[in-house]
Structure 1
Amino acid sequence: MECQRLSLPPLTAPGEVVTFYSYKGGTGRTMALSNIAVLLARRENASVPVLMLDWDMEAPGLHHYFEQHEERPGVLEFFEACRQQLERFRLEPASRHGSDEALAQRVLDAIDWQQYVVRVDEGSPLYLMRAGRFDTSYSERLAQMRWDQLFDACPALFRCFADTLAAHFRYVLVDSRTGRTDSAGICTTLLPKKLVVVFTPNRQSLEGVDALVTRAIEYRRSHEDEQRPLLVYPLPSRIEMGDGAQRAEWRRGDAQKSIAGFQPMFERLLRVSYGLPQIALDSYFDEVQLQQTKTFAYGEQLAVRIDQGGDRFSLTRTFEAFLHWLTGGYFPWQSSREIHLLAAINEAQNALLLEPGRAVALPLARDLGRLGELYRKDGRMAQALDVLRQSVEIRARMLGEEHVDTLAAKSGMARLLRQLDKLDEARLLEEEVIRIRERLQGGEHPDTLAAKACLAQTLVLQHDHVAALHLQDAVLASYTQLLGAEHPLSLAAMDSRAITLLQMERLPQAQALLDTVVTARTRLFGAEHGDTLHSKLALAQALVRQGELEGARQLLEAVLQVQERRLGMDHSATLDTRDRLAEVLARQGDWAGARQLYENQVAARERTLGLDHQETLMSQRKLAEALLRRGDLDAARSVQEQVLEVHARLLGEDHLDTLHSKKQLAGTLQQQGESEAARLLEDAVLSGSDRLLNGRSGGMPRPQEESMLDGARHLQQTILAERATEPDTLGSMIGMLQDMIEREQYHQAGELVEHLKPCLLRPGVPGRLRKRGMGQLKRLYKQQGDLAALLALQEDEVLALEGALSEAGIGQR
């Protein structure tokens, strides 16, 4: 039967190809795609052309969601035609083929793709390319379709096919085969700009999509012809809304039940895939979870056509929320609040071009300020500063430099400048705000006091502690007089003053003040309030620095218990407190307790940051130290070998971190009696340090380069000092000292002398070496004009000679 041909004109701008993939069947992938397709086609007064492709040819079902069941050719028949065209073109001279893209385009131009597409909704431009014509030969023809051979014959074919469809449809939604098949790889790796991974909360589904996404992104990175972005959107499906406990376990994870949690998994996966330091999917998964409902558990029903009310319990509302991210070009780690603010800002900026005035400009300035604060909290400082500057400029232009709203915006920008370590700029801005507020509002107005408190924080960071303390004293006195000693603002001022005292090493005063704050906040807000916990952490720090380890331990244990329960095992605040507590336990000699905490740290950082992250490696090194102190050498060695492997792979054999890892592993091998292996590692450290010291780190900032060189020297000196009884090693140390003196590197030479001098004064040192070494030490002291050190050295030399003569005399008797 002749199929009616459609007439689909090209778009003014290319559309997007979006693949929907699930590792296992039964996730509701096809249901999700069909509902989203209906919503997209209704947009802009039902004028958005949308095409659905049923590429799940082993189990086709997309056509069941629509009334149009006409038997007509589809995806299978289209690519059978492509295969025939390729076979025909293969008979032509190779010179006619041109590039791979040119060959693909010739194949596609020879086929009328529109005859494979059918319209499935007369009320909107919604179209479907079925899996194929389901006649008696369908299964046999599908089995004969070798997708790998088709790709090998023309690798650009699938990419050009996607581009052809995107030229006519705003959205091309591909329903992919499940599992790890060739056709699934085509749909997820070659075709899309965006990949929606539909999953249910179970291990099989999660492990499958994890592997698939990693493979797809790696393919795009590693193949020169496929250097295109691939945006990944996870879509949890069939979530049972009535069981809140299990829903939370599978979303956030539960270590005791060995449930990793889909949110941490996708945060890690997307962070590693896109090379981001940190992302959070809280807002995304708060909005995007497709709930299981009885109504749509049976048959092929379109939820968006049935529950059109769109209340917060409906699937329609969830699909629409998902589309905010998918079609708006936003990443899943962008919050819904950011998306709404960006939309409002864009609308206001367009309106401002048509009708300039305060009615539009001031709401725009407000939203820019809110967006800047959101970016600041998310750690996106450069973006925050840009929008905050725009907000300040609009307010200053519309309201004047001294309006309270302008001053508030300037204070917000100064706080951000402080966080960016632009302290001089922050200080100037804060001093300006204070001058204006004192003149207009008075010295004891709450806004003026708040501005003074902010300036004090900047002064502390500039190490101008005396000026900061003077301001804090004035602020605290005003708050106490106006509001009382236990008002939250008074306690906050007291807390800030205590932190300054802590930095000034006025520890008893800081401790007394923090004791007062902790007691008051506990009584007013509760023992587990965020401000109370903050003050307890500061008090613990004061106790540690005064050597009161037991008191600090009790405070840290209490805080950690609350954070683990309320924030979770993997929250950044929890990790920071756990690190502090582990250090206290280590100082107390409780290595068993420290080991348990470091094991928890390693597991948490592996989940949140990945195996190769620097903080994960640091936690592993601390764990290895605790294992060594416990005498568990085999376990310590295993951890150190893992760390060394990652450092060498990521940073190179001669990076300072790699050299440190080699040195630490060498120490463990020495304790295990493997002296030869330990020495080989130490020799590698010495050689690598030499290469670092003799080469220069081009492009590295000077402070970092100096720190790296100092670290390399320290490693060398440590190893050489440990081998100082060997004449060759002692000779190398003397040579290093001579070289440093000639280069006028007196600071580094002084550090080496601390290792070298006791070695030279040790009995049994050959006289020639001792004379040469002492000569270099005296040369250093003379060039530095350090007569006291020179006299002390001469006295030590005489005592050493007398001791040697005395021992020799005893030996003769």
Structure 2
Amino acid sequence: MIVTFYSYKGGVGRTQLMANLAAYLCYQKDKKILLIDWDLEAPGVHFYFKKSNEDITGKGLLEVFQDYCKVVRSAENLQHLTIEDFPKFTQENIISMVDASLLPPNEKQELRTGKIDLIPAGRYIEAEEYKRNVIDFDWYEFYETLDGKRYMEYIKKELKNLDYDYIFIDSRTGLSDYSNICNIQLPEVNVLVIAPTHQNLEGCLQVAKNIVNSPYVTSGKFRKGIVLPVLSRVEVESPDFEPFFYAYQEKYSFLIENLRNQFNDNQKISDEIRLRASSYFSDSLLGYNKFIAIGENVLFSERQGMIRGLGESYLFIAEFIRVFNEKDSKQNGDGNYDIIMLLELLESGNFIQLFEELDRKGIKDLQYHALKREFITQGEKSSDFIERLRVFISNLSLATPLSQKSSFSANA
């Protein structure tokens, strides 16, 4: 599944969010992720994985596009070109960032299979040449004159055929000549990272509306309008936080409502959206954290520890993205679907909704009622209580689908 990460301005934590979601999915979910650095004017994804410009020696995104332009310009007739004539991404363009298979087995003694690879924006080691190539590349000619629109459909198909669970694109900021390629044509999901300023709020809102109202989306032939807004680097102690947060929620709530409407015919995805919708804006909020404000910081590693603070928000966003991925286990009928959802409610600390869902199952187990009574009478949330509840849920055998009517209200 292809996901684009976009921000109207730079410095909002867009690349940091993408890198952390990739690390979480790789280390803790054993997923294979391909990152594409499409921020041609200011590339830097590789720094999050301890790589330098000197490590980027092969052809990147820009060189592949240049090769395509050369092929088309040299052709006497575009109609005579076939897909075999088009340049494609090969191992020459892909650089390993993380190979989890080289790490020790996980805590269950299972071999790790996750990895993170990168297609860089270009060959950074030739700095001056790369800079000239970025300046000289004519996006209008590429897309309109040289039939780049058709080529991007080919590229999208080729990317989806690669052996990755997720393809994350780090997009350029602002309203550039090629932003619609990253925001509309290529992805299946858009993540809009918004800093707490009015220019970011309004700029990303316009981009969100452009995506969901694009004929490429509304035709229903190519993709759905899955757009996830994320408010980032917010100082929640500021006296201006609450009014700004409510304005943000009011302006962007149509995107969450849009998700519900698009998946009415898919029980599993509809249930997942319903469970997350009411708390989406608060749970996806990325608060400002002075301890990781300097440098390129990735919070997830092979050492799985307790996730708190900003890491919890990263986890929430990652799990929401997983909802829409047909290749992920949540959509592959692995028999643990309901269990996964219940455990996620537990991990997020949403005990009231968790017990509502369990009650709806009609569970008559004495251990369950003892746990529920303990929670009601004591408000108990100790680590021992959480662990006992986790074990109980993990051992459940659930047959009743979560789509049955619940008292839970999911008004975003």
TM-score (norm 2): 0.69
Structure 1 residue aligned with 2:94, among 85, 96, 117?
117
1:6-28: CA deviation from partner (whole Å, max 9, x where unpaired):
xxxxxxxxxx0000000011111
1:604-635: CA deviation from partner (whole Å, max 9, x where unpaired):
xxxx9xxxxxxxxxxxxxxxxxxxxxxxxxxx
Equivalent position amino acid for 2:245 in 1 = R
Structure 1 residue aligned with 2:231, among 226, 231, 236?
236
2:249 paired with 1:249: no
Judge conservation of contact 1:267–1:281 (CA < 8 Å) in 2: no
Aligned to 1:372: 405
Q: Distance in 1 between matches of 2:123 and 2:160?
A: 24
2:20 paired with 1:25: no
**Amino-acid identity (%):** 25
In the TM superposition, what is the alpha-carbon distance from 1:78 to its structure 2 partner? Answer: 1.4
Judge conservation of contact 2:185–2:216 (CA < 8 Å) in 1: no
Instruction: Give the secondary structure class of the aligned counterpart of 1:251.
Output: helix
Aligned to 2:368: none
Aligned to 1:156: 150
Equivalent position amino acid for 2:157 in 1 = D
In the TM superposition, what is the alpha-carbon distance from 1:120 to its structure 2 partner? Answer: 1.0
- Describe the shift of the 1:366–1:242 C-alpha distance in structure 2 as closer, same or farther (beyond 3 A): farther
Structure 2 residue aligned with 1:91, among 55, 73, 76?
76
Aligned to 1:207: 202
- Describe the shift of the 1:178–1:306 C-alpha distance in structure 2 as closer, same or farther (beyond 3 A): farther
- Describe the shift of the 1:273–1:172 C-alpha distance in structure 2 as closer, same or farther (beyond 3 A): closer
Judge conservation of contact 2:13–2:232 (CA < 8 Å) in 1: yes
Matches for 1:505-516 after TM superposition, within 5 Å: none
In the TM superposition, what is the alpha-carbon distance from 1:112 to its structure 2 partner? Answer: 5.0
Judge conservation of contact 1:196–1:234 (CA < 8 Å) in 2: yes
Q: Distance in 2 between matches of 1:67 and 1:179?
A: 27
In the TM superposition, what is the alpha-carbon distance from 1:274 to its structure 2 partner? Answer: 8.0
Q: Structure with the greater relative contact order (CA < 8 A, sep ≥ 6): 1 or 2?
A: 2
Larger radius of gyration: 1
Aligned to 1:40: 25
Structure 2 residue aligned with 1:147, among 129, 139, 144?
139
- Describe the shift of the 1:327–1:362 C-alpha distance in structure 2 as closer, same or farther (beyond 3 A): closer
Structure 2 residue aligned with 1:187, among 173, 182, 186?
182
Structure 1 residue aligned with 2:295, among 299, 306, 311?
299
Q: Distance in 2 between matches of 1:32 and 1:222?
A: 25
Judge conservation of contact 1:23–1:209 (CA < 8 Å) in 2: yes
Matches for 1:407-556 after TM superposition, within 5 Å: none
- Describe the shift of the 1:220–1:81 C-alpha distance in structure 2 as closer, same or farther (beyond 3 A): same
Equivalent position amino acid for 1:142 in 2 = V
Q: Distance in 2 between matches of 1:93 and 1:239?
A: 50
1:772-792: CA deviation from partner (whole Å, max 9, x where unpaired):
xxxxxxxxxxxxxxxxxxxxx
- Describe the shift of the 1:329–1:225 C-alpha distance in structure 2 as closer, same or farther (beyond 3 A): closer
- The more displaced of 67-76 and 189-198 is 67-76
Instruction: Give the secondary structure class of the aligned counterpart of 1:68.
Output: coil
In the TM superposition, what is the alpha-carbon distance from 1:159 to its structure 2 partner? Answer: 2.5
Judge conservation of contact 1:74–1:116 (CA < 8 Å) in 2: yes
Judge conservation of contact 1:21–1:29 (CA < 8 Å) in 2: yes
Q: Distance in 1 between matches of 2:277 and 2:250?
A: 8
In the TM superposition, what is the alpha-carbon distance from 1:305 to its structure 2 partner? Answer: 3.9
Aligned to 2:40: 57
1:78-124: CA deviation from partner (whole Å, max 9, x where unpaired):
11112122223x32473x34xxxxx4x3344x445321110011334
Unaligned runs of 5+ in 1: 1-15, 98-102, 253-260, 331-340, 349-356, 380-607, 609-813
Matches for 1:103-114 after TM superposition, within 5 Å: 103=82, 105-108=83-86, 110-111=87-88, 113-114=90-91
Equivalent position amino acid for 2:92 in 1 = Q
Instruction: Give the secondary structure class of the aligned counterpart of 1:163.
Output: helix
Judge conservation of contact 2:88–2:158 (CA < 8 Å) in 1: no
Q: Distance in 2 between matches of 1:61 and 1:36?
A: 16
- Describe the shift of the 1:198–1:306 C-alpha distance in structure 2 as closer, same or farther (beyond 3 A): farther
Aligned to 1:79: 65
- Describe the shift of the 1:306–1:358 C-alpha distance in structure 2 as closer, same or farther (beyond 3 A): closer
In the TM superposition, what is the alpha-carbon distance from 1:62 to its structure 2 partner? Answer: 0.9
Q: Distance in 2 between matches of 1:191 and 1:57?
A: 17
Equivalent position amino acid for 2:294 in 1 = Y
Unaligned runs of 5+ in 2: 101-113, 265-273, 326-335, 344-362, 366-392
Q: Distance in 1 between matches of 2:40 and 2:49?
A: 17
Equivalent position amino acid for 2:323 in 1 = G
2:251 paired with 1:265: yes
In the TM superposition, what is the alpha-carbon distance from 1:178 to its structure 2 partner? Answer: 0.3
Equivalent position amino acid for 1:120 in 2 = M
Aligned to 1:130: 120
In the TM superposition, what is the alpha-carbon distance from 1:247 to its structure 2 partner? Answer: 2.6
Judge conservation of contact 2:212–2:218 (CA < 8 Å) in 1: no
What value does the CA root-mean-square deviation take over the aligned residues? 3.5
Aligned to 1:66: 49
- Describe the shift of the 1:215–1:312 C-alpha distance in structure 2 as closer, same or farther (beyond 3 A): same
In the TM superposition, what is the alpha-carbon distance from 1:65 to its structure 2 partner? Answer: 1.1
Q: Distance in 1 between matches of 2:69 and 2:197?
A: 39
- Describe the shift of the 1:284–1:346 C-alpha distance in structure 2 as closer, same or farther (beyond 3 A): closer
Instruction: Give the secondary structure class of the aligned counterpart of 2:229.
Output: strand
Judge conservation of contact 1:78–1:113 (CA < 8 Å) in 2: no
Judge conservation of contact 2:286–2:313 (CA < 8 Å) in 1: yes
1:62-83: CA deviation from partner (whole Å, max 9, x where unpaired):
1111223313221111111121
- Describe the shift of the 1:300–1:225 C-alpha distance in structure 2 as closer, same or farther (beyond 3 A): same
Equivalent position amino acid for 1:266 in 2 = Y
Aligned to 2:212: 217
In the TM superposition, what is the alpha-carbon distance from 1:366 to its structure 2 partner? Answer: 7.1
Q: Distance in 1 between matches of 2:46 and 2:340?
A: 41
Q: Distance in 2 between matches of 1:115 and 1:266?
A: 41
Structure number having the greater helix percentage: 1
Instruction: Give the secondary structure class of the aligned counterpart of 1:234.
Output: strand
Aligned to 1:637: none
- Describe the shift of the 1:307–1:22 C-alpha distance in structure 2 as closer, same or farther (beyond 3 A): farther
Q: Distance in 2 between matches of 1:228 and 1:218?
A: 12
Q: Distance in 2 between matches of 1:191 and 1:225?
A: 15
Q: Distance in 2 between matches of 1:65 and 1:80?
A: 27
2:270 paired with 1:284: no
Instruction: Give the secondary structure class of the aligned counterpart of 1:174.
Output: strand
Equivalent position amino acid for 1:372 in 2 = K
Equivalent position amino acid for 2:116 in 1 = L
- Describe the shift of the 1:237–1:306 C-alpha distance in structure 2 as closer, same or farther (beyond 3 A): farther
Judge conservation of contact 1:65–1:300 (CA < 8 Å) in 2: yes
Equivalent position amino acid for 2:94 in 1 = V
Instruction: Give the secondary structure class of the aligned counterpart of 2:227.
Output: strand
Structure number having the greater strand percentage: 2
Instruction: Give the secondary structure class of the aligned counterpart of 2:3.
Output: strand
Q: Distance in 2 between matches of 1:32 and 1:303?
A: 10
Equivalent position amino acid for 1:55 in 2 = W
Q: Distance in 1 between matches of 2:248 and 2:36?
A: 28
Q: Distance in 2 between matches of 1:116 and 1:68?
A: 15
Q: Distance in 1 between matches of 2:248 and 2:277?
A: 10
1:109-154: CA deviation from partner (whole Å, max 9, x where unpaired):
x445321110011334110111111222112111121222212222
Judge conservation of contact 2:27–2:300 (CA < 8 Å) in 1: no
